Chain A
Amino acid sequence: MKRLVLTGLVLVVGLGAVLADSDAIVQRRALMKANGDATKIVVGMLKGAPFDLGAVQAALKSYGEAAAKAPALFPDDSQTGDTNALPEIWDNKADVNARFAKLAQDVAAASTGIVDSASFQAQMPGVLKNCGGCHEKYRAKKT
């Protein structure tokens, strides 16, 4: 009976781990999708659409959330599946995490620094540079 319970526990934990990892990919994608949706609006504003501080703050919140959660969302067994993440991520974990830390820092600075259209135009491009940096090294679009 004891053995049965133990086996059951192992199974549940194992299954949980598997679910969590395919879950990691899903969560990663959801965070990136949210960032993209926010960025669409931000880029429009950089191009001359009317400045909207609320939308900027929402975008920064989205980036900040991604930067905080992402380092934990690349467990070793989430390398394959429905993901554009390159294996280089797992070879360079320290660099990847440092990049997320820098994003978090830039977001924090911009959150207090951006108060009007002028400070937005001055500071936002620097925050957005973080996106391309990782996509260049660590992502390969399959389609």
Chain B
Amino acid sequence: MKKALLVLAGLAIIVALGAAGWFASAPRSLSAIVAQEVDAPGEAAAGRIVFFAAGCDSCHMSPGQPDPFRLGGGLELKTPFGSFYPPNISPDVKDGIGAWSADDFAGALLLGVSPRREHYYPAFPYTSYRRMTPVDVRDLFAFLRTLPAVAGRAPPHALAFPLTIRRGVGLWKRLFLGANALPEAPGRDAAWKLGRYLVEGPGHCAECHSPRNILGAIVTHRRLTGGPLPDGKGKAPDITAGGLKDWSKADIVEALASGFTPTGDSLGGPMAATVRNTAELPAAYREAIAGYLKSLTPDRGPPGD
């Protein structure tokens, strides 16, 4: 009898934990205010700039061809957790995002939640994109809709159990994703705020240029101080003021425009694709990024201090 009670109690605890885990891992929904804002018509011309600021093409462009606007997906991203294959985000109705609503798109970027209400893996950097403004989201969406539809789907991600359970990403988000908005920064000028927004939001610089913990989350206070590249081929350098101590602001601006460093080297690896994007940005954006990076001390708190 006592034994039966213990078993029952044990079962109750397991069920309670399971229920708690299930609720804690539930996908979130957009707030009514954000949903309303992203539903307003976007401007495709402005969205083109957001596209290059966010570097969508670096992961989503069809591999083996040079057009950044063919977004058929399928490039293999090798990581310590397995291989990810970024999906087709062209306006193809069947294989791409042609049937998506603006809310679907905002849910993906800002919450990492798919239209079918499943979690995306954080290889998709909504961890940074979540900081994007609703205006940028809807402009980007408008721009993507102007691009050619590409047929075909990317292969499924090749991950090992238990990473195959998408619901688990909900718990990961609980642990590692804070508020979407960047903190207030009184006393900082507009250029600094623009730079912070570009670096920490759409630009998602920290995704490569930071060390990660064992669960693959960025080590917050070491953001942007450099880290191993996910594919194991080399290192993304420290881009805080410490790592860039031999770089002037103009040097950073130049590197983001032409890819050439102050030593006359040309940036390579995944940064070469990044430079093709930053080269398309307004000059003031490159200046803002450079100014923000030069303002960062190597060891600090969450973005914004």
Contacts and interface: CB of A to CB of B under 8 A. Distances in A.
Interface of A: 35-43, 46-47, 84, 86, 125, 128, 131-136, 138-143
Contacts of A38: 264
Contact of A139 (B229, B254, B263, B269): B269
A43 B254 contact: yes
A136 B264 contact: no
8 contacts: A43-B254, A43-B258, A84-B234, A128-B258, A128-B260, A132-B268, A139-B234, A140-B268
Nearest to A41: B264
A135 B266 contact: yes
Given A38-B264, A128-B266, A143 B259 contact: no
B272 A132 contact: yes
Given A36-B265, A138-B268, A140-B234, 16 more contacts: A36-B264, A37-B264, A38-B264, A128-B258, A128-B260, A132-B275, A134-B268, A135-B266, A139-B268, A140-B269, A141-B235, A141-B268, A141-B269, A142-B235, A143-B235, A143-B237
Given A36-B263, A40-B262, A43-B264, A135 B272 contact: yes
Contacts of A125: 258
A84 B272 CA distance: 16
Nearest to B253: A47
Contacts of A84: 234
A57 B113 CA distance: 55
B135 interface: no
Contacts of B269: 135-136, 139-141
Contacts of A43: 254, 258, 260, 264
Interface in B223-271: 229, 233-235, 237, 254, 258-260, 262-269
Secondary structure type dominating chain B contacts: loop
Contact of B234 (A131, A132, A142): A142
A132 to B, nearest CB: 5
Contacts of B273: 136
Interface string B264-305: 111111001101000000000000000000000000000000
Contacts of B254: 43, 47
Contact of A141 (B237, B258, B264, B275): B237
A39 to B, nearest CB: 4
A43 B258 CA distance: 9
B17 to A, nearest CB: 44
B142 to A, nearest CB: 30
Contacts of A41: 264
Contacts of A143: 235, 237
Nearest to A47: B254
A134 B262 CA distance: 19
Contacts of A40: 262-264
Contacts of B237: 141, 143
Contacts of A47: 254
A136 B268 contact: yes
A88 to B, nearest CB: 9
Contact of A35 (B229, B259, B264): B264
Q: Which 10 A-B pairs have the closest CB atoms?
A: A135-B268, A140-B234, A40-B264, A136-B272, A39-B264, A36-B264, A131-B266, A140-B233, A132-B266, A139-B268
